[in-house]
Amino acid sequence: MRHIAIIGSGPAGYYAAEAALKHWGDEVAVDIFDQLPVPYGLIRSGVAPDHQSIKAVSRRYEATAQSANVRFIGNVSVGSDVSIAEMQSLYDAVVLATGAPHDRPLALPGEHLGNVFGSAAFVGWYNGHPQFADLKPDLSGETAVVIGMGNVALDVARILAKTRTEFDGSDIVAHALDTLDCSRIHKVVILGRRGPHQIMMTPKELGELGHLARACPRVDPGDLPDLGDDALLEPGLRKSVTHLRGFAAIPESHRADMAIELEFDFFASPVALQGDKQVTGVTVERTRVEAGRAVPTGETYTIPASLVVSCIGYQTSPIPGVPFDERAGRFANDEGRILPGLYCVGWARRGPSGTIGTNRPDGFGVIDKIVEDIGAGGGKQGRAGFDRLAAERKLDVVTFADWKLIEEAETKAAREGAPREKFVDVASMIAARRG
């Protein structure tokens, strides 16, 4: 019997567990650990609450989780409750699938002013992550600035612009919905250092901005390249740029009927945040694109801003005893191998790139490497050894059956039309598990 420990119950972790089952069948026991009492990581707390079709992938992970050879061990923090060295002594292979839960710092003057948030924090707030449930962003000002040109920036802008009715069917948490319902924001500026041909936004997510009840996107036609240049783009990006061209052609008479404007400000690199205690503006330097890179021009201007959300990327949390690449913001590894018996997968391996589906080949790839390394070996204590350790330390382990009780309680607590009302603190999750 091979004993595999996977640290992190998001997409990368469950795809790796699925791969282990497909390779070894009944000759493997997989324990999936998470520091929260609830599984699915990014699916639960990162995917936008109004994108329920994307969240539906969790049903595939549930099928893996309910295999007799796979066990969920929630409410256990690897690195503090149990060390990596202890895990390696118990399991034939330990796979870090911890994702990239922290924001990359802006590294700009004023980034620590009030009402300035990273996207991990802001997205975690409206998704009910226990770490960020008490964020309390102030939405009483008129202008929000979202820094970044990826899908997360689109999510943040869209969430800020939607009406309460437009959240029907979503699982946005009640505290965020009530705060957004009282928002006085009339303008959301989406800042990008480069131009329309360099965006990382996908067509589906970008197209959603054109169908909002009270908000209208704005693109300066002068920022768009020559139409013929679009032919050089790969198909997905070409579709996205077509959406931008459509936004640029929206008549001003239509914009006048909308309460919120979503303005794309291209060729704009933030250089400082202004304000005393609370942010009041973002100073921006105009850029031009040369060989795909943003080159500063020296021309600056300031955008008034009462809220700033930085969507410039994420980084992995270091774990004591695990080599870490500070510059890349992920574990130091060679194609998933960190140390003998220690591996990483997903964003913890490659950094925050790709889609949810990108983690499937990554998960299968790391299991291939474990197969190469341990061969027919195995035989460590595995889950029996961990259970003894957990009993000695009186760890309050949450099982997958416990999670199903938590899920049932969230479903029962849902407002009309919503799939669930998430518990936003660990104590409530534990209480629900206990009935």
Q: Using one digit for the tens of pLDDT, what is the confidence trace for 13-57?
A: 999 999 999 999 999 999 999 999 999 999 999 999 999 999 999
pTM as predicted: 0.94
Amino acid at 25: G
Whether 322 and 255 map to the same domain: the answer is no
Pairing verdict, β 28-33 and 2-7: parallel
Using the 3D structure, point to which of 287, 314, 341 is the last residue of a domain: 314
Q: Sorting pLDDT into bands at 50, 70 and 90, what band is 355? A: confident
Q: Sorting pLDDT into bands at 50, 70 and 90, what band is 220? A: very high
Whether 110 and 90 map to the same domain: the answer is no
Mean residue pLDDT across the chain: 95
Whether 183 and 300 map to the same domain: the answer is yes
- State the average pLDDT over residues 213-242: 96
- What local confidence, expressed as pLDDT, does residue 375 receive? 76
CATH number at residue 87: 3.40.50.720
- What local confidence, expressed as pLDDT, does residue 354 receive? 82
Whether 361 and 285 map to the same domain: the answer is no
Q: Sorting pLDDT into bands at 50, 70 and 90, what band is 340? A: very high
Q: Sorting pLDDT into bands at 50, 70 and 90, what band is 67? A: very high
CATH number at residue 108: 3.50.50.60
SS (H, E, C) the chain: CEEEEEECCCHHHHHHHHHHHHHHHHHEEEEEECCCCCCCCHHHHCCCCCCHHHHCCHHHHHHHHCCCCEEEEECCCECCCECHHHHHHHCCEEEECCCCCEECCCCCCCCCCECEEEHHHHHHHHHCCCCCCCCCCCCCCCEEEEECCCHHHHHHHHHHHCCCHHHCCCCCCHHHHHHHHCCCCCEEEEECCCCHHHCCCCHHHHHHHHHCCCEEEEECHHHCCCHHHHHHCCHHHHHHHHHHHHHHCCCHHHHCCCCEEEEEECCEEEEEEEECCEEEEEEEEEEEEECCEEEEEEEEEEEECCEEEECCCEECCCCCCCCEECCCCEECCECCEEECCEEECCHHHHCCCCCHHHHHHHHHHHHHHHHHHHCCCCCCCCHHHHHHHHHHCCCCCECHHHHHHHHHHHHHCCCCCCCCCCCCCHHHHHHHHCC
What are the tens digits of pLDDT across the range 163-173? 999 999 999 99
In whole angstroms, what separates CA 94 from the centre of its chain? 23
Whether 204 and 329 map to the same domain: the answer is no
Whether 140 and 252 map to the same domain: the answer is yes
- State the average pLDDT over residues 183-202: 97
In percent, the amount of the chain with pLDDT more than 70 equals 99
pLDDT at 357 over 90: no
Cα 170 from Cα 360, distance rounded (Å): 26
Using the 3D structure, point to which of 314, 343, 374 is the last residue of a domain: 314
Burial pattern 120-157, b for ≥16 Cβ within 10 A else e, equals bbbbbbbbbbbbbbebebebebebbbbbbbbbbbbbbb
Locate tokens 């201007």: which residue? 301
Whether 48 and 190 map to the same domain: the answer is no
Q: How many domains does the chain have?
A: 2
- What local confidence, expressed as pLDDT, does residue 158 receive? 98
- What local confidence, expressed as pLDDT, does residue 168 receive? 96
At residue 264, what are phi and psi to the nearest 5 degrees?
Answer: -90, 120
Burial group, residue 270, by CB count within 10 angstroms (0-12, 13-18, 19+): buried
What are the tens digits of pLDDT across the range 110-127? 999 999 999 999 999 999
- State the average pLDDT over residues 74-86: 96
What are the tens digits of pLDDT across the range 381-424? 999 999 999 999 999 999 999 999 999 999 999 999 999 999 99
Whether 127 and 263 map to the same domain: the answer is yes
In whole angstroms, what separates CA 207 from the centre of its chain? 20
Whether 237 and 144 map to the same domain: the answer is yes
Whether 334 and 276 map to the same domain: the answer is no
What are the tens digits of pLDDT across the range 301-339? 999 999 999 999 999 999 999 999 998 999 999 999 999
| Among candidate residues 311, 308, 334, the one with its CA nearest the CA of residue 323 | 334
Whether 26 and 167 map to the same domain: the answer is no
- What local confidence, expressed as pLDDT, does residue 41 receive? 94
pLDDT at 225 over 80: yes
Using the 3D structure, point to which of 314, 342, 373 is the last residue of a domain: 314
Backbone region of residue 189 per phi and psi (left: phi > 0; alpha: psi in -120 to 50; beta: other values) = beta
Show the domain range for 344.
2-101+316-433
Could you give the angle at which helices 174-181 and 119-127 cross, rounded to 10 degrees? 110
CB distance 62 to 407 below 8 Å: no
| Among candidate residues 45, 33, 38, 40, the one with its CA nearest the CA of residue 76 | 33
Cα 350 from Cα 334, distance rounded (Å): 10
| Among candidate residues 373, 45, 363, 200, the one with its CA nearest the CA of residue 349 | 363
- What local confidence, expressed as pLDDT, does residue 434 receive? 83
Whether 183 and 301 map to the same domain: the answer is yes
- What local confidence, expressed as pLDDT, does residue 379 receive? 78
Cα 54 from Cα 173, distance rounded (Å): 17
Cα 324 from Cα 344, distance rounded (Å): 11
What are the tens digits of pLDDT across the range 247-269? 999 999 998 889 999 999 999 99
In percent, the amount of the chain with pLDDT more than 90 equals 94
CB distance 121 to 135 below 8 Å: yes
